[in-house]
Structure 1
Amino acid sequence: MSDPQAIEAGFRSIFENAVEGIFQTDLQGNYIRANQALAQIYGYASADELIAVQPNARASLYVDPQRRQQFIDLMAQQDVLSNFESQVYRQDGSIIWIAETCRVVRDRKNNIIYYEGFVRDISEQQSAFKQLKMAEASLQQKNRELADTLNELQNTQKELIHSEKMAALGQLVAGVAHEINTPLGAIRSSIETISLFSQRTLPNLPDILRELPPELFERFTALRQLPIQDTLQLSSRERRQYKRKMMAVLNDKDIQNSDGWADTFIDIGVLGDIDPFLLLLQSEQGEQVVELAHQLALLERSTHTIGTAIERAAKVVFALKTYARFDQSGEKVTANIIDGIETVLTLYHNKIKHGVEVVRHYDAIPAIPCYPDELTQVWTNLVHNALQAMDERGELRIRVRQQERALRVDITDSGCGIPDSVLPHIFEPFFTTKPSGEGNGLGLDIVHKIVDKHQGTIEVDSQPGKTTFSVTLPLIEDHGDHG
């Protein structure tokens, strides 16, 4: 027969050493019993100190006093209450979030004699959930702002086309819209993933982890410590190679659904030896561990995707704003001409990315006094003409360097070249070899005038397979007749 004292000692040990707060209170909220964990949650040195102060009975525990009454009302209705969340004051006045699970204890006449239950500190979970919701709201706001920007671009396209600069922008709008819609779609998809995680997985995460045996928890921790960045940088070819190797191991171990599990492990970051994790696929609870690690990896992947998408969309919007800006002050400002060239390449990215290789040779150059908005129009015309000459297939080479007291920009394309009979006339106004509707012959004339306004020069050298426009701009402003 079991020793009653030993049994009592065992239960007392469980009570005193439990990691969750355990309590019994009378109907007025006085603590009858409390363990050390509960005292620590509320900021007291011991359970005896907590019982002596009785913050609950003195209505000094709950931040919202009505929560105590709601607690009592619900207990009277259903006898058992799970995960009742509230904000409470600790002894030092700080505020934490708790979740209470409680039941009613009745006597033989069905009268309530006291309450007993458990308390968990869920402050970290609440903080994480709040930050997640704030991040989601911020991303949705950015999504709306980007969508509004795209809508504004589409609404103003007809107005912008009235000038040569805006006509070039009009040709770019479809590409710019695509460049913004792509990251918008990535952001929208990633927000849905984050939202599903916050609704389905996050609330159950503490309970799932608490119930895991030590060995499975250790394997889960090992999975979460794998660097997901390595997986994000894999090419499609590299991913297929890893997947084939992993499926061979899984099939050799008679693991069902080797195709799906291989994708899951690669998403998590398993690119090396999979043997330490095979044990997880041999039980239902182990599979749950892998799926949980996968969900967390997808959350991390979504965060990375959002960051990359926002950076890309912001770059396109910034380039567009820079291009569309028109400085009417009539005064030169100091600027780096490479910034203007990069703005144009960003706007033409949609035309470049499918068949044009851009080769940049940028020396370290000083900023110069110039009209940067007008120079952007120069680079726009030269890049646009180069892409047309190559039929958007070939090599675009851009070189920027310093030559004595001037900067030189060479823009070279691998297109068909300019015939000798045409070459002397390309800077003449209204001269064009393009079909009707594709050009008015003003582009290079405007380029020439802008370069001349900067007291610079523009030259062209052309042969089949290599045409180079060379623009030189002085380093020091000349206060002569030009301006």
Structure 2
Amino acid sequence: MSSSLSISDSIWHTAFSSSPIGMALTDMQTGLYVDVNDVYCNWLGRTKEEVIGKSTLDLGIYSNTNDRESILEGLRKDGFILNKEVPLITKTGATVVILFSGRIVENGKYLLSAGQNISALKEKENLAHALQNELVISKELFESVFRLNPAAVSLSNAETGKYDEINEAYCRLIGYDRDEIIGKTSHELNIWITKLDRARLLAEVQKKGWSTGMEASVRTKTGEIRHVVSGNTILNNHGRPTLLAILIDITESKQNKEALEFAVKERTKELNRILEDLQRTQDQLILSEKMATLGQLVASVAHEINNPLAAISAFSEQIFNRMGNFGNRLSQIKECFAKYSEEEVGEVVAWVVDLFKVKPKSYAFAEARKAKKNLEGIFVRLGIEPAYDLADRIVDLGVPDFFLENQGFLPRFKSSTLLELVLSELNTLRSIESIRLAVERTSKIVYSLKNYGRFDKNEAKSEINVVDTIETVLTLYQSKMKSGVDCIRLYNVSPLIAGYPDELIQIWTNLIYNALQAMAFKGKLTIQVDELEKEVMVQIKDNGPGIPVAIQKRIFEPFYTTKEKGEGSGLGLGIVKQSVEERHHGRIQFHSEPGNTVFEVILPKS
């Protein structure tokens, strides 16, 4: 690559890790993976830890062993492989077909692999993984990443519009040779179909510093029209603004509207991730810490959501099946009411209305057993059958007291199926109530997760209820706490402060999770909120083993951690201290001894 492509190693590292195509780096001598990006791992259905340090033979990823020999033969002969279709086997045994390219780099030391999943598009999981480690590789390797990218990528002077560098895919897209492009502008090459497309793109980039998912049409050298979706951002390249543009050709996809909409959606997501990572490089470590914590919550949050969803599914199916039999019930009701006078029908209807207004009650085992026995005795005495089943259903519906208090009315149901119909309708009402509660529970969890997932370092301060942000975190940790943690809330006030909601949530997340970990998720967690004259104080206490005196002076140091490898980066408390003191102009202090650790966060009032 020419010297005009002078991008820092960190930017190339971001391009490697966040590329919308799968990429891997393999040691040619040992055959072991040195590094892989998330897309590559997703193909195989494995984590980085499962792939790095293994060989393709260890993982058994080749569906056809001849493909491996063919690739090695091509590399030995030419030093590279381009666009070879290779079926790979995932961890679960499924097969994905990859359009594979590879090149020997670093004087034969490494194999840089790149590819694109060309199997039927699948819905991808919305779990975001942030960059954890800085990858330092030579300039030749980063240049290879640029060259091998199947998407069309260009770098141009943001002030003059002249191209500084393009990859081969860009040349293929617009049909010009590299020498015909470098030093020219897109206007000179007459690429844009309309000036509106280019003006719309530039306006978006100038407004936000980046754009993504914008569709446009470009003209090739031969005059052919190609449709692309683009992502663009402004990079500071040694003091000069440089426009990074990524174009993905979607011309063929437009022939099928449904396929186009899905493809654009997926590619827009990929472009959005790439460009957001590039734009927010300076915040990457903070975001990584937050996403690591979110990853710990995913399983428990999914479980918390699945439970009410299962209830909604079951109850709604029950209601649906019952409504399908509505005609028969009408006939039964008509037949039952034929046995009553008009006055008696009015009394029965009034009794049913009162019954449906009763708030259901839960009973202890002994109370439930006694209520069933009393109701069964009444039904037996009145000759209402099946006595035991009716009594059991009434107790389950939570209304035995109403029946016992109105037992004088029960003879009206003798020799009639009306009572059975009433209880069935009451059960339907209970199902609807259960659905409503399940929806409220799910909405609360989703709202909390949405609040937790926000991350905007540049947002303005807003008026925030401190208790609401604490409750957001507690909602997400509920499933982790319910089996062994006694959570005591002492909200003496519900104060408002001027602050950054996403950062406050991150503060409480770090402090609460540290407390839970210290107690091994077994113990008492106390959260207390008090109002001082000009400040608000939040105390987070746990009865864990405490922080050893020898390390108490270092707990706020960045990257200092006493946790096992993989359990923490050492950034958590450092981020908390920075946010409290520098962003919110407050202070944080703690006291710790065996059985009692207290962190106090003091924040100024609005």
Band of TM-score, shorter chain: 0.5 to 0.7
For residue 301 of structure 2, give the secondary structure of its aligned residue in structure 1.
Answer: helix
> Counterparts of 1:245 and 1:466 in 2: how far apart (Å)?
52
Q: Indicate how the Cα distance of structure 1 residues 280 and 365 shifts in structure 2: closer, same or farther if over 3 A, else same.
A: closer
Residue identity in the other structure for 2:302: A
Displacement of 1:355: 2.1
2:574 corresponds to? 445
For residue 159 of structure 1, the aligned residue among 116, 120, 129 is 129
For residue 466 of structure 1, the aligned residue among 596, 601, 604 is 596
Query: Residue 173 in 1 paired to residue 303 in 2?
Result: no
For residue 419 of structure 1, the aligned residue among 548, 561, 565 is 548
1:457 corresponds to? 587
> Counterparts of 1:236 and 1:418 in 2: how far apart (Å)?
45
Alpha carbons 2:544, 2:595 under 8 Å: kept? yes
1:20-35 aligned at under 5 Å gives the runs none
1:329-340 aligned at under 5 Å gives the runs 329-340=458-469
More helix by share: 1
> Counterparts of 2:304 and 2:367 in 1: how far apart (Å)?
26
For residue 372 of structure 2, the aligned residue among 243, 260, 263 is 243
Q: Indicate how the Cα distance of structure 1 residues 290 and 302 shifts in structure 2: closer, same or farther if over 3 A, else same.
A: same
For residue 214 of structure 1, the aligned residue among 331, 340, 346 is 340
For residue 129 of structure 2, give the secondary structure of its aligned residue in structure 1.
Answer: helix
> Counterparts of 2:528 and 2:483 in 1: how far apart (Å)?
22
For residue 225 of structure 1, give the secondary structure of its aligned residue in structure 2.
Answer: helix
Per mean C-alpha deviation after superposition, the further-off stretch among 433-442 and 244-253 is 244-253
Aligned length: 321
Residue identity in the other structure for 1:157: L
For residue 350 of structure 1, the aligned residue among 444, 461, 479 is 479
In the alignment, structure 1 segments of 5+ residues that lack a partner are 1-150, 477-483
Partner deviation per Cα, 1:201-245 (whole Å, 9 max, x = no partner):
x22344333322227844565245215653255566654453344
1:117-136 aligned at under 5 Å gives the runs none
For residue 411 of structure 1, give the secondary structure of its aligned residue in structure 2.
Answer: strand
> Counterparts of 1:164 and 1:298 in 2: how far apart (Å)?
48
Higher gyration radius (CA): 1
Residue identity in the other structure for 1:435: E
Displacement of 1:330: 3.9
Partner deviation per Cα, 1:317-360 (whole Å, 9 max, x = no partner):
11111110112434222211211101001111111222222211
Alpha carbons 1:386, 1:412 under 8 Å: kept? yes
> Counterparts of 2:366 and 2:447 in 1: how far apart (Å)?
34
Displacement of 1:256: 6.1
Alpha carbons 2:301, 2:476 under 8 Å: kept? yes
TM-score (norm 1): 0.61
For residue 401 of structure 2, the aligned residue among 267, 271, 289 is 271
Query: Residue 435 in 1 paired to residue 574 in 2?
Result: no
In the alignment, structure 2 segments of 5+ residues that lack a partner are 1-121, 133-287
Alpha carbons 2:383, 2:414 under 8 Å: kept? no
Displacement of 1:172: 0.4
The alignment's C-alpha RMSD in Å is 2.8
> Counterparts of 1:250 and 1:465 in 2: how far apart (Å)?
58
Partner deviation per Cα, 1:262-315 (whole Å, 9 max, x = no partner):
1222227232417336546753xx2x2121011110111111111111111011
Displacement of 1:384: 0.7
Partner deviation per Cα, 1:174-213 (whole Å, 9 max, x = no partner):
111011111101111111121112111x223443333222
For residue 538 of structure 2, give the secondary structure of its aligned residue in structure 1.
Answer: strand
> Counterparts of 1:161 and 1:347 in 2: how far apart (Å)?
23
Query: Residue 185 in 1 paired to residue 274 in 2?
Result: no
Alpha carbons 1:161, 1:169 under 8 Å: kept? no
> Counterparts of 1:468 and 1:292 in 2: how far apart (Å)?
58
Per mean C-alpha deviation after superposition, the further-off stretch among 224-233 and 442-451 is 224-233
Q: Indicate how the Cα distance of structure 1 residues 161 and 408 shifts in structure 2: closer, same or farther if over 3 A, else same.
A: farther
Alpha carbons 1:417, 1:464 under 8 Å: kept? yes
For residue 334 of structure 2, give the secondary structure of its aligned residue in structure 1.
Answer: helix
Residue identity in the other structure for 2:333: L
> Counterparts of 1:335 and 1:280 in 2: how far apart (Å)?
59
> Counterparts of 1:300 and 1:161 in 2: how far apart (Å)?
50
> Counterparts of 1:239 and 1:316 in 2: how far apart (Å)?
33
> Counterparts of 1:233 and 1:455 in 2: how far apart (Å)?
49
Alpha carbons 1:161, 1:170 under 8 Å: kept? no
> Counterparts of 2:422 and 2:411 in 1: how far apart (Å)?
15
For residue 359 of structure 1, the aligned residue among 476, 480, 488 is 488
Displacement of 1:157: 2.0
